[in-house]
Structure 1
């Protein structure tokens, strides 16, 4: 989520699945920009975002670490958008939220499948 927001704020294309996710990333960027106002170091990172996207990502991470409530708002937007994502043509959308040691996502399995 943080990388998607920072990449979009840097003016780079973000590969996301469908309009709901694109709209969520745009809304998240808008909210982060609002929070950056009046924070000179964050405004500076945003100003040089195209040349140094890592600086924006660091600023976004700091902002989210400092304000867990704001992090929760953005995560809710992100999760809601992913739930509404849909695939086009032969595409597949897999949504996984949470923590796991291993996650297996498959499509079009033909024949036997054994997972040990």
Structure 2
């Protein structure tokens, strides 16, 4: 059974929403054709896709081979995977990745929004 953390990392990599993490993995996979192909195949794939599963398996293999990479990968993931929780009818909004344009983060809106 795949490591849930590696599956989450692979899904994040597929969306390229976490630049530093993507760069770390891309650099590590640069000399490994199968791993590099798995990273490319997972690009823009759904989190539940076979491509993301293959990528998570490549991450697991790479972690077993390189404990230093494993530590760096997981430390970086810990930094960027902020667990947020709304409490007492609160709202949690988070934007990550390359964002351009206008964004509205809100809970209850009465009336319209214009930019």
Normalising by the residue count of structure 1, what TM-score does the alignment of the two structures yield? Answer: 0.54
1:6 has 2:7 as partner:
no
**Alignment partner, residue 25 of structure 2:** 32
RMSD: 2.8
Structure 1 stretches lacking a partner, 5+ long? 13-21, 93-116
Aligned residues of 2:63 and 2:69 also touching (Cα < 8 A): yes
Shift of 1:57: 1.0
| TM-score (norm: length of structure 2) | 0.54
- Aligned residue for 2:70, secondary structure, equals helix
- Kindly indicate whether the alpha-carbon contact (under 8 Å) linking 1:5 and 1:29 is maintained by their aligned counterparts in 2: no
State the Cα distance separating 1:30 from its structure 2 match: 1.6
Whole-Å Cα distance in 1 between the matches of residues 29 and 63 of structure 2? 11
Q: Corresponding residue for 1:104?
A: none
CA distance in structure 2 between the partners assigned to 1:81 and 1:9 by the alignment: 12
Aligned length: 80
What displacement does 1:40 show? 0.7
In 2, the alpha carbon distance for the partners of 1:44 and 1:8 equals 16
Aligned to 1:90: 90
How far is 1:4 from its partner? 2.0
Q: CA deviation at 1:87?
A: 4.7
Structure 1 residue aligned with 2:111: none
Q: Which whole-Å deviations, capped at 9, do the CAs of 1:53-76 have from their partners, x for residues lacking one?
A: 111111111111111111111222
Say whether the 8 Å CA contact 1:37–1:43 is kept in structure 2: yes
